[in-house]
Structure 1
């Protein structure tokens, strides 16, 4: 199943996509937009362009598992998308995804402006890889 992952942010929203086999997740870009309706519109466009069959949105929980204002905004975005797109939409715990993405970029020697340009898309990829691992584990348990 082709899954589109979203790392929703105040100024930038990262996007990642996996192949139909759910083996490989790749960053596909960022949306530089602050308006939630415009972000939603661009996510819908990306979902259609990449033929997504599902959307996974990173849910920014606090480290203790509680939800704050950022999680509330993310839930609102999920609701907006749910009203527009006839696709399953999942919220997925994204704790530490940006930290993991920053570490990946550091390991690859990506710093400065280039890092800022790709960080959110890499974070979306981290979210998607985590979700794909969960789905693979669920399939193993069912067999």
Structure 2
């Protein structure tokens, strides 16, 4: 019984999974998507949901700093609704303002090269989104 965290972008989705106790989040992978042809990576996400026995999904909800809903947040709402319909599991939208920039700052402070940051930034942001949610639930 694990929770999956997703950082949904326009080209990739960062994926994180909780431990079995729901205490910690670990980045798992980055899934490539193509919004133009409505390929949202659901096939791979379904494989991960099954592999990790996911019972709940947390989707990052990128609200604007003034708490309004912009185009990316609307895209996340649509994605969450499609995911819930496809896999019939609970899907929660979780405020993710500044998680990607926080993840990038953390990687920069760890002296990770720009090339390597691009490889891990999305799954790290997903882990930060999921960890925030797990901490809130406690």
TM-score (norm 2): 0.93
Per the TM alignment, residue 42 of structure 1 is displaced from its structure 2 partner at its CA by 2.2
Match of 1:6 in 2: 6
Work out whether residues 23 and 135 of structure 2, in 8 Å CA contact, stay in contact via their aligned partners in 1.
no
**Partners of 2:63 and 2:40 in 1: how far apart?**
24
TM-score (norm 1): 0.90
**Partners of 1:125 and 1:17 in 2: how far apart?**
7
Give runs of ≥4 in structure 1 deviating > 3 Å.
35-38
SS in 1 for 2:54: coil
Per the TM alignment, residue 98 of structure 1 is displaced from its structure 2 partner at its CA by 0.3
- Which stretch shows the higher mean deviation, 69-78 or 100-109? 100-109
Per the TM alignment, residue 38 of structure 1 is displaced from its structure 2 partner at its CA by 3.6
Match of 1:39 in 2: 41
**Partners of 1:95 and 1:38 in 2: how far apart?**
22
Per the TM alignment, residue 107 of structure 1 is displaced from its structure 2 partner at its CA by 2.4
Work out whether residues 24 and 134 of structure 2, in 8 Å CA contact, stay in contact via their aligned partners in 1.
no
Instruction: Provide structure 1 residue ranges, at least 5 long, that are not aligned to the other structure.
Output: 137-143
Match of 1:22 in 2: 22
Count the aligned residue pairs: 136
Work out whether residues 40 and 77 of structure 1, in 8 Å CA contact, stay in contact via their aligned partners in 2.
no
Per the TM alignment, residue 108 of structure 1 is displaced from its structure 2 partner at its CA by 1.8
